[in-house]
Structure 1
Amino acid sequence: MHPFRQIFQFKSFATRMSVYVLSFALVVFAVIIVLFYSYSREKVTDYAIKSTHGQLYNTAIEINNLLQTVETTMYQSVWTIEESLNDPDSLYRIIAAVAENNDLIESSGIAFEPYYYKTKGKYFMPYVSVINKKTEYSLLGSQSYDYPCMDWYLIPKLLKQDYWSEPYYDQGGGNFIMSTYSLPLLDKEGKVYAIFTANISLSRFTTMIDQLKPYSSSFTFLISRNGSYLTYPDHEKIMNETILTDAFTSNNTGLENVGQEMLAGQTHTAQIKLNGNPAYIFYSSIPHIGWSVANVCPPSIILKDLDTISGQILFGLLTGMLVLFFVIHIIIRRLVKPLAAFSESARVIATGRFNVKLPEVKSYDEIKMLHDSLAYMQQSLFDYVIKLHETTATKERIESELSIAREIQMGMIPKTFPPFPSRQDVDLYAILQPAREVGGDLYDYFIENDKLYFIIGDVSGKGVPASLFMAIARSMFRSFSRHTDSPATIVSGMNNAISENNETNMFITLIVGVLDLHSGELKICNAGHTLPVQVSPEGKVSLIEARTHLIVGIMIDHEYTNEIFYLEKGTKIFFYTDGITEAENAKKELYGEANMIKTLSANSQQDIHAIVSSVICSVAHHVQLAEQSDDLTILVIHYEPNNQKQERN
């Protein structure tokens, strides 16, 4: 063997793999470069956004301050106007001072209500403009310049508050593109008698906006409250087009969204396309007047330096990765070669052929460990499949037996409703839903000598033991009921019989009752069961406060007594097991007695089948997807003695 190969020939597979992993360091380096570029790109972009927004904010503040100086000048002149109202010609001096003392104000005027000065006629608007530091005086107002109908006059008059108008060309007034600040003048009665105006030329902002160029290829524009371009590199769009009409014309949804946000007074950054080219647009509002200023900059300018450096690094990285690709390819081929045979063997084992012979391995490294692990897995799978077949057969047999047991159990309880179709004096409906295949709840009933015997009970525990106990209890009820009409005697007999040989310590809560269908006398013996509910003919729902005795199966010769009640015509008695009130939802919240009574009250005038269905639906709505934790059993008796009498007559 060549000496160089001897140096790098390791018996341990892990050692060889560790050496090979070092070759992937270049990949890690490439990932770091990509992450660094992404991080740098984000930081450069964030800096550009913050820097540009900072400049836009400063510009907006500057414009805002200039506009506030106009407002301040106007407010400070109001009192002089009020003192000079008796001498209308002296008003020229006041508005001249306003225009001369504020460089931003090109002209100013006071537009009085028509016929305010009867000697001056319908229109009277003294007006002063300062052009090239020369003050010119004029009087506005005529049929061709009907200022009471203009926006700058009407809006502040109606609102009774100051107002900045949309920019417009003042034909017949200032004769330039201007925005008018209107300040309504009110008399002592709160009525507007004149509008005090100051006009500023938009040309005053053009230089300020044009100088805002954070990047050489960027440009800045200003829009008004309704979106009209006030400044723009394409001068034909100024006052002739809005940002929204520009977006609609070019079918540019990105510009449309930006326009909507600018008109809403928002400050934000968006990446859109202008004339088919990507561009960042930074915009900020001038809240004082409702205008917005925006700067448009191509992303390539912002990331120009970063992209240049990143391109050089990427070229070097791609060259290195190309070389590394061939190295990794050779390494992987060498590593995979001894594993291919094991892969094929594993596929054969997965098809169920556990006796397939594994390839031989002569080395003693991790490949040998893999061979031994596959051999162990092969044997373990064989043993597991054998046990699985046995377990499946046993499970199927148990499920079959449980299914038969359920059929036998459900066959023991009456399920035909109405149970006594030939009788009109009583109706009865019941339902039993086991939580498992078989359960421990029970109900039963029969009529003998015009007396309705019934039972409802809940055996402790669940499953097969409880179902057997339930079958025994049901048989005892039938047996003891043949010899007496006293529920207490029936319960006593059942208790003594069950308690005598109760080695499993199981017990049952139950209610046994006997209803005399002629007199309406209801005798009940409650052995630890939930209290029944009575629904009166008028629909009033209340608990039947019957004495609760010791549960059945605990103590021999315990004394049980009857509780006697007399039922009115139309009375319904609702019996249930605690699987109703203790039904839990996913949050472990109980359905509760209050919810049950609320549901019964809402459906008290329904027939007994509808009442049972409403309670079951209410419980299901409470439980939702939670698993049923206990058997649900309901028994409802509706007593209607007069129906039978009418039938007999």
Structure 2
Amino acid sequence: MNKKSIAFQLGIYVLTAVILVNALIVFLNYKHSRDILSKKIEEGAIHQSGLIINEISKKIVNDQEVSRNVANQALYYHAHGDLGKFIEQVVKHNRVMNGLHVRLIQSTDTLLFSSYRNSKGQVDNFQTPQNNSITRFPNLVDSTASIYRGIWSQPFYSAYDSTKLQVSYFLPIPSNDSTMQGIIAGDINLGFLSQAVSNIRIGVSGFAFIVNKNGDFLSHPNPSWILNKNLFHLESKIFDTQHGYYEQLLENGIPGSGTAFPEILNYQKSWFYFAPIPHTEWRVIVVIPTKELYDELDVAFQEIVWISLLGILLTSLIIVLIFNKMLSPLAQVARSIQRFSFGERGRRSKKNEIELLNDSLKELQVQYGTYMKEQNQIRKDKRKYEKDLKSAKEIQRTIVPQDYSFLEKHGEIDLHAILQPAEGIGGDLYDFFFIDEKHLLFTIGDVSGKGIPAALFMAVASTLIKTKSNDLSAMNIVDVVNKALSKENLNQHFLTLFLGVLNLETGALDYCNAAHSYPFLISSKKRAVLLEQTHGLPIGVYSNKTYKSSSIILSKNDQLVFYTDGVTDCKDVSGEMFGMPRLRQFVDSYGTHSPKELTEALLDELMAFKGKAPQADDISVMAIKFNGKYP
């Protein structure tokens, strides 16, 4: 099977699944239909038995009510000498009753009044002072529990007409002091049972019959069974293994249903339902052959099976056509992936596209394993890089001065600077140190680019500024540093730089601006102005370029503010730049603050303006305030 094409294999699998699912659906549908039909059958049997029960109950209740009325009026009519005539009229006018008998208990004897229908349908009656031949009257004299309710007798054949099967309803005759004065017996001809049952149509071969609680047949399609056979003593093959269970339900008067194999139906399997008849100890049982119940359903089921087989055949043809059309590209894809995985060494003799893909995936797993090893190595290298970057950041922090304590003995000057790289490390720099006792060199610059290359170039430039600052001329220092940087600058980095030399005694400032942003001069007498002089190109690119310088005299409380272009180029989330107008407005507002307050406030202003936008460039700010000659 594995050597076959995927279209062939899928066709077999799908067809098998279709057959199984279709069979399951047909089976479940058949089972569900049988369940519904069974419920309908039971409802129908309940309805049919209800019709029988209603028909019987009407006659039973009528006999009980007539007997009860006679019991209540017997003493009255007897006192007026009309009791015999009274019960004769009652029997004549109640066709259900086969006879009515009254036994009165006197102080000296027992009187019996009786009216009955003879074989010709006429009503006869007699009265006897002592008649011991009527022995079926129960002894209710001492039975106080039966004073106010009647008792049904067992079925018996009439003494006046041996062809009539009947039952009697016995009821005590009470007096005003609640003592029993006699017994009423109302006879009913049970022939109406067979008539009530036969009036109900139950399928083609179905039938119903009546039994008492002991199982004796009171009606049956075979009249010879009446009072001659017992339901509980029939052949064992008629009932299934739940014979005892049905017997218990019948005895207790509980409705139920089951299956049996009746003799009258040649022992074919049948379904039956039984229910108690109110006011009696009788049970009605409805029997329907199972074959009649499910014949139509079985025929429909066979038709569905044949239709399903035809549908499966058509489905198989459609599946073959669809799979051949749809899965042909899969074969091409499988072979393409195999060539991608193995190259020209792939096995092309296999027809099973899944097996081809499986081999290709195994090869890709091997390649993926190699790739993961390389990725792990890359992650290790990245962690090492991050560690080195952290170290570089710490080194950079040591390059730019962080300690201002050496300025404490120089009251002529107040200075503060801030550097915030856009990445872990950056290319901005600032520095300040004393060339001699009274000359302070300070500088701020911005290397082109960001990250590690810019930081390394910045570190070299900072080192050169420290080592080459042996002159008090700003342009000479810049010129020397430019020549030194230009010699080894293979990556063509460049540095914009502002460098100044301040005489703390006189306030004279000699400075050189190598294409750096113009600083602000904040005078105590007027608003901030820009020192808009440029003395040459950025350093580090052209070693033969020369630089110039300018000089100014700072007055007491004058303040200089230096910055890199990361300040003016700072952007918010909409892309708008902070710009020179905002910077000038800020400097005018904070010009009287100390250098530390001014630089920190400017950084806060930039961060608030930027918001959640990423920082595009390094930010450096330095402020210097000249306090005048220190005493």
TM-score, length basis structure 2: 0.46
Larger gyration radius, structure 1 or structure 2: 2
TM-score, length basis structure 1: 0.45
Q: Which structure carries more relative contact order (alpha carbon 8 Å, separation 6+)?
A: 2
